[in-house]
Amino acid sequence: MNNSVLIPKSTYKVVGTNPARHDAIDKVTGKAQYGADISLPGMLFGKILRSPHAHARIRSIDISGAENSPEVKAVITASDFPKQPPPSQIPELGKPISQNILAYDKVFYKGHAVAAISATSLQAAEEAINLIKIDYEILDPVTTVEDAIKENAPKLHTHWKDKVDDPLVSGNIASHLQFKFGDPTSGFKDADIVIEREFRTKSVHQGYIEPHTATASWTPEGRLSIWCSSQGQFGVRDNTASILGIPNSSIQVIPMEIGGGFGGKNPIYLEPIASMLSKKSGYPVKMTMTRSEIIEATGPTSGSYCKVKIGSTKDGKLTAAKASLYFEAGAFPGAPISGASAAIFSPYKIANLQIDGFDVVNNKPKTAAYRAPGAPIAMFSVESLMEEIAAKLQINSMQFRLSNVAVEGDRRADGLINGVIGAKEVMEAVIDHPHYKSPLTEPHQGRGVSMGFCRNNSGMASAIANVISDGRVSLVEGSVDIGGSRTAAAQMFAEVLGISVENVIPKVGDTDSIGFTSNTGGSSVAYKTGWAVFEAAKDVKRQLIERAAKLWDSNIKDIEYKDGIIEHKSDSELKLTFSEISKLLPETGGPVVGRANLNPAGSGGSYAANIIDVEVDPETGKVDILKVTAFQDVGTAIYPVHVEGQIQGGTAQGIGWALNEEYFMGPDGSVVNTSLLDYRMPTSLDLPMINTEIIEVPNPNHPYGVRGVGEANIVPPLAALSNAIFDATGVHIRNLPMTPQNVKKSLISE
């Protein structure tokens, strides 16, 4: 579908404005319905028994005590589900890992679900779950990526074959991904300076506020309905069907409002369990995770060990680069090494490259996507190293970056040839910005810069537009709305028809009422669903022209539609507004329903950057953030105020990742900090105003020039803060998070 012509921005009347969100009043008044708000007649409450051990074999499970409890209506274990094969070394794209829903014969992390019950009340469920008795054979855990790849490390998945077509794949290394072009060995020989460094990051959680929740209910005819907060109702439907072993047409998933996800609500956790408990008990079953369960048993992003090497001539020309990326996948394979490989050197043109990515399993929860999966970790390494090289060459670090910038036609690290990209424009905006030029005058203050990138995705999308007789339109689309995308979709729809966005009523449909739409992830929604509503609006326009031609007994070639008005080209008396012709639909052929279903390519990557000023207390190591300016090429800002919000939100999360957040792992493999008191995300008290600079380099592959805006912004803060601390102290910190203890230790060791 990439035959679209980019519509000139000068013609936009609705796109680029800031209307009130269609869901705003419901959300600020508490009327919006989230997953936890569901209450059905006769509803039971489900609870999961989780493993107290990080690595153990299940010798036996005795459920008789729970079954004999009068308030318990159903008890299930993995044996109640169709048997699935053990996890393969290379995950099947889009297929859930059944052993992560309920453990079969082995648990792989503390918090791994083993059994579940449904009872007449939540209190009864919480009490009765402890009546299930499990006999474990405790095994040694491995909880860091470096421990997991040691030759004598306990092997998690003993059925895997070592060195399958690759001598680098063995033990807990599930797979190895390599990208290589040019001649890195020769490129390093041509360099005047070569620096190689090691970097380490810890597991961090997405930190969404709303807990995971799901309610399931079966009809007497054997059809299943699920209400949940997720990033994609179709993904929930298909993955739950796969776990239950039933056709996906047997399931209806009703998406509720979502209180944050950031990639962490793409996987399923509760839906199959609630469904099986409902089936076994004959009643609806509702399940909601506690915060401790969320941190212990849902997917964080990877911890990592990275080794990066970059060569440059003395005048600042990059000659070669090499990276070895070891990413934790958690209990089952699927670390984001592909996204990391796409991002790691993406801002730069480098003729000789090699990237080796390793997917490593260990005794932690299975990782999930987190905003630009893999990119923050990979670019933390590169952007820190770029700063170090520039300092040694005594070159301005942003000019160093700009002199090596990647542009259209250059090959990206993962082999893709760049289309129109905005890396150069972002770098120039940083260099020209007053924040970058302003002096720092106080001791212990420093300024850091960094680039960021996300490759962005697309996917299948559908939209249905029903024209209402009063001149409004009901617009049903399939993308779960996390960041105001309903309104952005309504804007793009209204732009085509020349009507007010307030006259579009956007809704997110369930799996029975709208065509398949892929998950809200990969910064794909404005691109794919925006294109779908664009095509649906064109379909409405086409039909309205046909109706006017019929009404005026004219040829459709003599009718034009412009700015919400249909008129005859040669008879100015024949003219109707959108609202007027909407009233005439019954007498011209009946309802007008526009639709679109597509799978567009060409989403295009987004580049971002940060300038961050800090003050470092040399006595305590505490880092105070003084000022932040966040830049991003967004293609076209469809809904600018929410684009700014996305940039600010991602930047705040990146700052938390850099300075505070981590999973504290106990010696037994347990996560020690399982509350938001101990897992410390930044609050408004920790952050200054995050100033945003929206840069628009339209994506020519989309009618409105859209690029994804939700992810690239989380990438720059990690290295920007490290570089700012270096500027303030002269010390490079290569291990995250940069807590006061870590900073103080680094200052002392230097």
Contact, 632 vs 608, CB < 8 A?
yes
Give the Cα separation of 172 and 242 in Å (integer). Answer: 26
Give the Cα separation of 466 and 476 in Å (integer). Answer: 8
- Mapped onto helix, strand or coil, the DSSP state of residue 92 is coil
Say what angle helices 271-281 and 233-244 make with each other, to 10 degrees.
50
Tokens of 631: 């830049």
Regarding beta strands 113-119 and 72-77, do their DSSP bridges make them parallel or antiparallel, or are they unpaired?
A: antiparallel
**Residue labelled with tokens 């009507």:** 499
Instruction: Indicate the DSSP class of residue 584.
Output: T
- Please write the tens of the pLDDT for every residue from 567-612: 999 999 999 999 999 999 999 999 999 999 999 999 999 999 999 9
Contact, 155 vs 141, CB < 8 A?
no
Backbone angles phi, psi at 729, to 5 degrees: -125, -15
E strand residue ranges, 221-376 = 224-228, 251-255, 285-288, 304-312, 318-330, 353-361
> What is the helix (H) or strand (E) element at residue 581, kind and residue range?
helix 578-582
- Please write the tens of the pLDDT for every residue from 640-687: 999 999 999 999 999 999 999 999 999 999 999 999 999 999 999 999
Q: Is the pLDDT of residue 1 over 50?
A: no
Give the Cα separation of 251 and 106 in Å (integer). Answer: 29
* pTM, full prediction: 0.97
**Residue labelled with tokens 């203050």:** 445
Q: Is the pLDDT of residue 404 over 70?
A: yes
> What is the helix (H) or strand (E) element at residue 606, kind and residue range?
strand 606-616
Q: For the residues 605-623, what does the mean pLDDT come to?
A: 98
Contact, 287 vs 214, CB < 8 A?
yes
Backbone angles phi, psi at 186, to 5 degrees: -65, -40
Backbone angles phi, psi at 471, to 5 degrees: 90, 10
Domain 9-32+458-598 and domain 35-139+211-258+265-297 have a common topology: no
Question: 304-456+604-749: which CATH topology?
Answer: Aldehyde Oxidoreductase; domain 4 (3.30.365)
The answer regarding whether domain 9-32+458-598 maps to CATH 3.40.640.10 reads no
The model's confidence at residue 474, banded by pLDDT at 50, 70 and 90, is: very high
Q: Is the pLDDT of residue 408 over 80?
A: yes
What ranges do the domains of the chain cover?
A: 9-32+458-598, 35-139+211-258+265-297, 304-456+604-749
As a three-state string, the secondary structure of 126-176 is HHHHHHCEEEEEECCCCCCHHHHCCCCCCCCCCCCCCCCCCCCCCCCEEEE
Q: For the residues 80-102, what does the mean pLDDT come to?
A: 92
Other C-beta atoms closer than 10 Å to the C-beta of 687 total: 15
The distance of Cα 565 from the centroid of its chain, to the nearest Å, equals 40
CA neighbor of 456 nearest in space, from 537, 550, 346, 586: 346
The model's confidence at residue 94, banded by pLDDT at 50, 70 and 90, is: confident
The model's confidence at residue 162, banded by pLDDT at 50, 70 and 90, is: confident
pLDDT of residue 628: 98
Contact, 47 vs 116, CB < 8 A?
yes
Give the Cα separation of 395 and 138 in Å (integer). Answer: 55
Question: 35-139+211-258+265-297: which CATH topology?
Answer: Aldehyde Oxidoreductase; domain 3 (3.90.1170)
Give the Cα separation of 691 and 219 in Å (integer). Answer: 52
The model's confidence at residue 93, banded by pLDDT at 50, 70 and 90, is: confident
- Please write the tens of the pLDDT for every residue from 513-563: 999 999 999 999 999 999 999 999 999 999 999 999 999 999 999 999 999
